[in-house]
Structure 1
Amino acid sequence: MYSVPFPVITLFALLILITMALLPEKNRHSGTLRFLIACTVLLSVGMLRWEYESVMLRNIQSVLAILLPPLAWHSFISMTDINKQRRWLLLLLPPAIALLIRMFWPVATDFILFIIFTGYGCDLLRIAWIGERNFTLSRLAESTYPAKMAFFAGCFLCISALTDLAVTFDFRITGGKQAAGMIVIFQMTLLPLIAAAIVSAGRTTVSGKENREEMRPVSVAVPVGEFQGIYCRLEKHVRETQIYLNPDLTLSILARKTGIPARHLSGAVNSVSQCNVSQWINGFRIERAKELLLSTLLPVTDIMLESGFTTKSNFNREFLRVSGVSPTLFRQQVQSNQAKNSGMH
């Protein structure tokens, strides 16, 4: 009864998300697509398994379940500047070991799934805890978003591990009477949400190719304690080059352009300006937006783009944070004050 409508709805939601992920060709995130496709195939195989019990389908489902956590993990880790060799090692080695164990010791499959889901889930929670400075390849305008989504993904994997554990106990106690309902409810409620989160997080990423084309390698070592000097050097570079107008600016690009290691750059901004790098860069963008609002008759949307922002919601939110009013109200207030002053004269 449960296996027909709910998984079909979930599958339909995943197909929509795949379409969404395919649309922005310029900034397409391959890790997101791989994760969504894996989710879709896993859910499809799961639906078939519950309708037509088959050893082959059960084996395929187990293999796909082992591959899902590393794919989810890779969707976020690819936004960081982690060493490539280490990334591929952590991506491939655990599932390879899990598949080998499953091949020679099938009864350990449930335990393997619990370990691999929990392991990658906990690492995503660790990445999220470090915060935005870890996502150096994510646009600074949206750098807080991947950290939040990584936390959500980590919770998803850990809850999934607990669900699998509950299903295992249900089979041992009741023979699996509640297993189908547990799995369907879990898939219906959490899988589309985490998939949507990963699609959204993937959109904030600047491709590695773009970063390599824009940046030059540097090997400048900066002492951690000299935050004030680092900050002055950074601020001078940002103002002189107007690098903040680049809508695809990332912490990695900023670090390489200035020759300051990302962790020192982030520490200097946090220490001196008492805000994160994203908010600090947006402060320059808001200054630029104010100048354009006062000196031109450009529409607010055009000013948003000219100032380095990519979305109106983020522009309005940051403008309100810095100025206390919306861009439109700011322009109206200044024009009103100018009219009053000219009338007095």
Structure 2
Amino acid sequence: MIFLPLPFVVALLLLILLVVMLRGDEPAKRNWAFLALVALCALQSVVVGLRWGYDVTALRFALPVLASGVPPLVLASFHSLIGCEERNVPGAAWVHATPTIGALMLVLLAPRYIDFALIVEYVGYALALLNLARPGTDALGEARFEGAVAAHRALVIAAFSLCLSALFDLAIILDFEWTKGANIGLIVSNANMLGLLFIGLTAMVADRARALPAVNAILDEEPTPEPQDREILDRIDHLLVSEKLARDENLTLSRLARRAGLPARQISTAVNRLAGKNVSQYINDFRIAEACRLLRETDMSVTSAMFESGFQTKSNFNREFRRVTALSPASWRQQSRAEKIAGSQ
């Protein structure tokens, strides 16, 4: 009977996930950081399977180097979903290459410290991800408003996945201290299965939230004078209603900022102050209002009203509809028509 190590199964699942992501996206829409992350996780799973499933000891030096590349790619992947003005940090790519270079040096010169270094790296990047998630969905300026909530959750899950991997690294160190590495294969296999699979799945969820790139979009690099919050919202409302920007399913905070000629941070702050909600909820309020109009004034199906108002997934549409109206779309239409009949009598 052929023995198939569990990490190989994880690698197969990740490769299937990678193919789905590649086939589901147009070339212009592909987020190469997310794709590279899933590919690296799959490669790491294969190496883990060969090392601990078939005892290919020559690969023991490759594992920590590959593992050190995961956290920077996770952070880079989610950085691609934040606003452009937030992510243009000179030399950032070189900074995030440091862990892999450092891991390679430790493997060659001081291998006994590599596990400690990986724990520090994984926890450090987990904290960086949580800091990125701290402002809420408005931090993900390049994520479609419809997918911002899911992307934000994926960001938090990715951070905890890195912490989980760090805990497994700590377990490896303790296992060497207490049992001379008797359980190392089991620990590594489980760590690989849980950590990498979680990271791969969160990458897919977050990748789906990324909008199509805007055509000929030009960022205003000049600092914009800070207007009053009411003026900002009036300008945003005009774009959403008069120019029907709310119906754009690929609308993001960054695109909205470009159309309004305002920094994304000012828009987010103004919405938070005056409306008491995040930008995603504010935009969805306009979409739900349009959906209600269509359900009330036309015989359009609920699904058609969903698409016409700017939503792309039924789950998000139903959730936001209930948030705004406390009813399902079908129940709201039925109640609205009953009120209309009662009012005409």
Q: TM-score normalized by structure 1?
A: 0.90
Alignment of 1:86-125 (within 5 A): 86-125=91-130
- Spell out the pairing of 1:250-265 with structure 2 (5 A cutoff): 250-265=252-267
How many Å apart are 1:112 and its aligned residue? 2.3
Q: CA–CA distance in 2 between the matches of 1:34 and 1:202?
A: 12
Mapping 1:1-345, distance limit 5 Å: 4=4, 6-26=6-26, 27-80=29-82, 81=84, 82-83=87-88, 85-207=90-212, 210-211=213-214, 213=215, 215-218=217-220, 219-223=222-226, 226-342=228-344, 344=345
For each residue in 1:269-301, what CA deviation from the matched residue of structure 2 results, as whole angstroms up to 9, or x when unmatched? 011011110010011111111121122222111
Kindly state the Cα deviation for residue 340 of structure 1 after the two structures are TM-superposed: 3.8
Deviation at 1:327, TM superposition (A): 1.4
Deviation by residue 1:102-147 (Cα, 9 ceiling, x = unmatched): 3333333222222222222221111112322221110112212222
Aligned partner of 1:249: which letter? L
Distance of 1:86 and 1:264 partners within structure 2:
26
Q: For 1:129 and 1:145, locate their aligned partners in 2 and report how far apart those are by CA, in whole Å.
A: 15
Q: Deviations over 1:179-216 (max 9, x none)?
A: 22222223333432332122111100125xx13x2532
Deviations 1:163-189 (A, max 9, x none): 112202211321101222222223333
How many Å separate the matches in 2 of 1:72 and 1:220? 31
**Cα-to-partner distance string for 1:277-334 (whole Å, 9 max, x where unaligned):** 0010011111111121122222111111111111111111111111121111222222
**Distance in 1 between the 2:343 and 2:128 partners?**
59
> Could you tell me how far 1:230 is from its partner in structure 2?
2.2
> For the residues of structure 2 that align with 1:222 and 1:142, how far apart are their CA atoms?
30
Unaligned runs of 5+ in 2: none
Larger mean Cα displacement after TM superposition, 169-178 or 11-20: 11-20
| Aligned sequence identity (%) | 34
Q: CA deviation at 1:45?
A: 0.8
Specify the SS of the correspondent of 2:69. Answer: helix
Counterpart of 2:206 in 1: which secondary structure?
A: helix
Of 84-93 and 158-167, deviating more is 84-93
Q: What secondary structure does 1:316 align onto? A: helix
Once the two structures are TM-superposed, the CA of residue 341 in structure 1 deviates from its matched residue by: 4.2
Report the more deviating stretch, 60-69 or 84-93. 84-93
AA aligned opposite 2:196: L
Q: Give unpaired runs (5+ residues) of structure 1.
A: none
Maintained 8 Å contact 2:138/2:280: no
Q: 1:100 to 1:8 in 2, by over 3 A?
A: closer
- 3-state SS of 2:134 partner: helix
**Matches of 2:108 and 2:18 in 1, distance apart?**
31
Q: What RMSD over aligned residues (CA atoms) do the two structures have, in Å?
A: 2.1
Q: Tell me the distance in 1 between the aligned counterparts of 2:143 and 2:330.
A: 29
Of stretches 255-264 and 326-335 in structure 1, the one that deviates more from structure 2 is 326-335
Runs of 4+ in structure 1 off by over 6 angstroms are: none
Cα distance 1:256–1:86, how it changes in 2: closer, same or farther (>3 A)? farther
2:24 partner SS: coil
Instruction: Give the deviation of 1:7 after TM superposition.
Output: 2.8
Measure, in 2, the Cα distance between the counterparts of 1:191 and 1:110: 17
Q: Give the whole-Å Cα distance in 2 for the aligned partners of 1:245 and 1:234.
A: 14
The normalised TM-score by structure 2 is 0.90
1:341–1:237 CA distance, 2 compared to 1 (3 A): closer
- Matches of 1:185 and 1:101, distance apart in 2: 25
* Conservation of the 8 A alpha-carbon contact between 1:141 and 1:314: yes
Structure 2 residue identity aligned to 1:222? P
Task: Read off the aligned partner of 1:108 and give its amino acid letter.
Answer: Y
Q: Matched residues in 1 for 2:225 and 2:303: separation?
A: 39
In 2, Cα distance between equivalents of 1:97 and 1:179: 24
After superposition, the Cα gap between the structure-2 partners of 1:292 and 1:233, relative to the gap in structure 1 and judged at 3 Å, is same
User: When the two structures are aligned, how many residues end up with a matched partner?
Assistant: 337
